[in-house]
Structures are given as C-alpha cells and as structure tokens.
Amino acid sequence: MNYCVVGLQWGDEGKGKIVDILAENSDIVVRYNGGANAGHTVVVADSRFALHILPSGSVRPNTICVIANGVLIDPEVLIKGIETLAEKNIILKDRLFISENAHVVLDYHKKEDKLREESLGKNKIGTTIRGIGPCCADKVGRSYAVRMADLKNLEKLKAKLNTIVEYKNKIFAALYNAEPIAADRLFEKCKNYSDKLMPFTVDTTKFLHKSISDGKSILFEGAQGSLLDLDHGTFPFVTSSNSSSLGMPAGCGVPAKTVDKFLGVAKVYTTRVGAGPFPTEQDNEIGQYIRDRGNEYGTTTGRPRRCGWFDAVAVSYAITIGAIDCAALLHLDTLTGLKELKLCKAYRINGKETTFFTANADKLSQASAVYETVPGWDEDITHVSDFNDLPLNAQDFVCRVEEMIGKPVTMIGVGPERKQTIFR
C-alpha cells in the first residue's frame, strides 16, 4: 500500500506523527515539498524529534528516506538534522537519498526573507524566515538558482556564487540599505555542504521508479497544509510550494496514480501561524485553552499558534482539491474539559451562506463562521485505544466531523505519542 500524507489545514496538523506510524509498514518515506519552514514532530516514548527536512520515517532505523526534487534544502539544517539523529545512534548512511535536482537555500535567501518581511511591517506574510520564498523565486527565475548537483562541481559553483552574490548585494543595498554578504565565505560553507551531503545525493526520480518496479511500498510525506498551497491556498498568506496533495507528483517525479490512498491529516480544531484570514479563530480564552492544552507553539519558530474551532468548510475544500480518501483526526484529547464544542459547517459572506471554501483572502476575511454546537466531555482519554471506549460525546463528535467532511476517519490521536492513536 502506497500512502501520501498531507495536511488538510494551515499546517502543523500532526503529519509527522502519522508518517512515523505508517512508516512501520513502508519501505521508503519520501519528502517532496517545503523546506526548513516545516517542523514535523515525532514522539517515541521519551524521545521527541523535530524534523525539518528529513522525512519523518528517518527515526526508524531501517526505513529508506528520500528527499526529492521538490524540497528546498537548507544544507545547514539538513546536516544538523543528520547529526542530531546520529547523536541518538540513528544512522542515515546508505539509507538517505537526496535529489540532485533539489534547490538549495543559501544565506542570501534567508537574509532576503527577513529584510522583506521587516520592510512590509504590518503587511508582512509572517513567514518562518527560512528563505523559502526567495529560494522559490530563484527557482522559477532560473538564472540565479543553485541546485544540489551544483555542489558537485565546486569550481563552477565558485564562479556562479560570485555572480549571484554580486546581484543579491545590489538588491540588499538598493532596497534595504543592508550589509552585503561575502561570496568567498559562502563558498567556504558550500564546500562543507558538498563534503557532507554529496555522498547522499543521487537521481531520486530514477531511484523511486526502480523501487516502484521492485514492488517497494512508498510513503509520501507532504509538508505544510493544503490551505497554504501557493495556487490553491489563501494567497498571499501561503507558502511558496504546492503543499496540497497536488504538489506530490511534481515534487518527486512519481505520478499521483502510484498512490493507493491519500490520507489527509487534520486537528479537531484549527491552528494557523503567521498572517491571513482564519474564520473560526478564537482570539479569546477558548483559543488560549486550546493553545495551552495542545502545546500550540511552532515546532520551527516557537511562535504561539493562532487557535480556533474545527472548520469543516476549509477541510472539505482541502479534501476536494486533493482527492483525499480518508482522514486522521488528531488532538481529540486537547478538547477534553470544554463544556461545549463548536464545528463550523458553513460561512456567511455578505449575508449569503455557503459551504464551499473561498481561497480568495479578501473574501475569506469577510466570512463569518456558522456553527453547530455539540456537548463536550471531561474524562481523560489519553489512554484510550479502542474507539468504543471513548466517552459517548467524544465518539459522537468524531462521527459528526466524519459526516461533515464526507470521508472516513481512520485514525484518531489522543496524545503525541505513537501509541496514543486509535485505529478504526
């Protein structure tokens, strides 16, 4: 069975946990989009791993890991990720394959991301400042892009970096009155990246197609969430890649029909980091309750996440555009203790009710949520492993969500650990 796991909201749905679980029965786990803006958490007993570029399958010692062409590689973050796992005796040698076509995020991308966000003031996107937007702009622009394969030919890279850095420094000075960066220092860093990462760098498209014909089972891991998709999300408050399942084939060179099941991950409430419309946001004591209990602080940036009620309109949209087959619903435990719970079943925009999401950020910012209210539960559910052992109100809540989104909920999270998962 080949699965593709994608977020159905604005990211941080718990994809890392689900991928880690499904990786047990997969030969290969593939990351195909995003970069160090992602933070995927895997909790195994006492160990907590925050993965940014490495696939979440990497914590399992025998799983083959692929970082495909669609991933934006910040070599510093990737090397640190490999070393952090090595400190815990998790070795990636001979089981990590990095695409030679993946684009490289370098210092000037992060600098540009930061300067641009600062200059935008209250109009900023609220990016993770990981250089994602500028790196994607260079990818699309082509002339000033650096790919992993470029780290193989250092002489050529040196000349290329001189040209790029000269161009970037002109922009830094003219637009932001900012200090230049030094091409020779960046080149020295790149030599180190080359030493450490070239042994892992291959043609991953070829590798994946060979693996498919050898009958290997593959798990595709999406980063971010469908509503942050560059083309189909709440533009401009999105990331720079196709983070719905639509990004999977382009991000790894494998057709979508290779996937047997697209599994969407959602929390039983909604969170968002950074700016942008959020119809069910609870900027009040309910939001704070969810933030505290769910530990809703960014895995990558530590920023407090904006929290609100479950939005079935938004999740249904993500399911529709992404051809999602089934869903995992996480953080059911986080809602414990609330007397009443709300589920958004429609939006009211300009006096009209609609159940179809709009990715137009201006329109969405005018949407008010139409809620259905259901009763909560007080019992501790963090040790429940059978759906029928959940309090009846919790069972009804999940069944109601299932009805609203129109897809089966096959996994339910009742805590961050692998074993705190109910299968249906």
User: Between β-strands 352-354 and 269-272, what pairing exists: parallel, antiparallel or unpaired?
Assistant: unpaired
Cβ atoms of 301 and 363 closer than 8 Å: no
Name the β-bridge partners of 73.
104
Q: What is the DSSP letter of 303?
A: P
Rule CB under 6 A: which residues touch ligand IMO? 7, 10-12, 34, 37-40, 125-128, 130, 132-133, 223-225, 228, 237, 239-240, 273-274, 299
Of 178-186, 242-250, 328-336, 383-391, the window that binds ligand GDP (rule: CB under 6 A) is 328-336
Residues 6+ apart with CB under 8 A from 86: 92
Build a one-symbol-per-residue string for 150-189: x at contacts with ligand GDP by CB under 6 A, - elsewhere: ----------------------------------------
Amino acid of residue 267: K
How many of the other CB atoms lie within 10 Å of CB of 119? 12
Summarize the chain as % helix, strand, coil (round to 5): 40, 25, 40
Applying CB under 6 A, does 2 fall inside the site for ligand GDP?
no
Build a one-symbol-per-residue string for 372-411: x at contacts with Mg ion by CB under 5 A, - elsewhere: ----------------------------------------
Query: CA-to-CA distance for 266 and 134, rounded, in angstroms?
Result: 29
Helix (H, G, I), strand (E, B) or coil at 237: coil
Nearer to ligand GDP among residue 264 and residue 276 (C-beta):
264
Minimal CB distance residue for ligand GDP: 413
Build a one-symbol-per-residue string for 76-115: x at contacts with ligand GDP by CB under 6 A, - elsewhere: ----------------------------------------
Residues 6+ apart with CB under 8 A from 48: 41, 42, 416
Cβ atoms of 198 and 151 closer than 8 Å: yes
Build a one-symbol-per-residue string for 377-416: x at contacts with ligand GDP by CB under 6 A, - elsewhere: ------------------------------------xxxx
Which residue among 39, 134, 274, 287 contacts ligand GDP (CB under 6 A)?
A: 39
Encoding tokens for residue 386?
């059978």
Of 277-296, which residues contact ligand GDP (CB under 6 A)?
294-295
Residue 318 C-beta: closest distance to ligand GDP, Å? 13
Q: Which does 228 bind (CB under 5 to 8 A by kind): ligand IMO, ligand GDP, Mg ion, none?
A: ligand IMO
Of 275-304, which residues contact Mg ion (CB under 5 A)?
299
Of 11-19, 65-73, 83-91, 368-376, the window that binds ligand GDP (rule: CB under 6 A) is 11-19
Number of residues that bind ligand GDP (CB under 6 A): 23
Integer CA distances (angstroms), 272 to 176, 305, 340, in order: 29, 6, 22
Nearer to ligand IMO among residue 53 and residue 332 (C-beta):
53
Query: CA-to-CA distance for 32 and 15, rounded, in angstroms?
Result: 13
Build a one-symbol-per-residue string for 42-81: x at contacts with ligand GDP by CB under 6 A, - elsewhere: -x--------------------------------------
Amino acid of residue 140: V
Cβ atoms of 39 and 26 closer than 8 Å: no
Nearer to ligand IMO among residue 32 and residue 237 (C-beta):
237
Q: What are phi and psi of 394, to 5 degrees?
A: -70, -40
Applying CB under 5 A, does 12 fall inside the site for Mg ion?
yes
Applying CB under 5 A, does 39 fall inside the site for Mg ion?
yes
Cβ atoms of 226 and 322 closer than 8 Å: yes
**Active-site hit among 20, 40, 229, 331:** 40
Residue 390 C-beta: closest distance to Mg ion, Å? 26
How many of the other CB atoms lie within 10 Å of CB of 31? 32
Nearer to ligand GDP among residue 186 and residue 384 (C-beta):
384
Nearer to ligand GDP among residue 23 and residue 43 (C-beta):
43
Residues 6+ apart with CB under 8 A from 194: 151, 152, 154
Helix (H, G, I), strand (E, B) or coil at 187: helix
- Check if 209 is active-site: no
Residue 385 C-beta: closest distance to ligand GDP, Å? 13
Helix (H, G, I), strand (E, B) or coil at 36: coil
Assign residue 244 a region (left: φ > 0; alpha: ψ between -120 and 50; beta: otherwise): beta
Q: Which does 334 bind (CB under 5 to 8 A by kind): Mg ion, ligand GDP, ligand IMO, none?
A: ligand GDP
Using N-to-C axis directions, what is the helix angle for 183-197 and 75-87, rounded to 10°? 40
User: Between β-strands 326-330 and 409-413, what pairing exists: parallel, antiparallel or unpaired?
Assistant: parallel
Which residues of this chain interact with Mg ion, rule CB under 5 A? Answer: 12, 39, 299
Which residues of this chain interact with ligand GDP, rule CB under 6 A? Answer: 7, 11-17, 39-41, 43, 294-295, 299, 330-331, 333-334, 413-416
Residues noted as catalytic = 12, 40
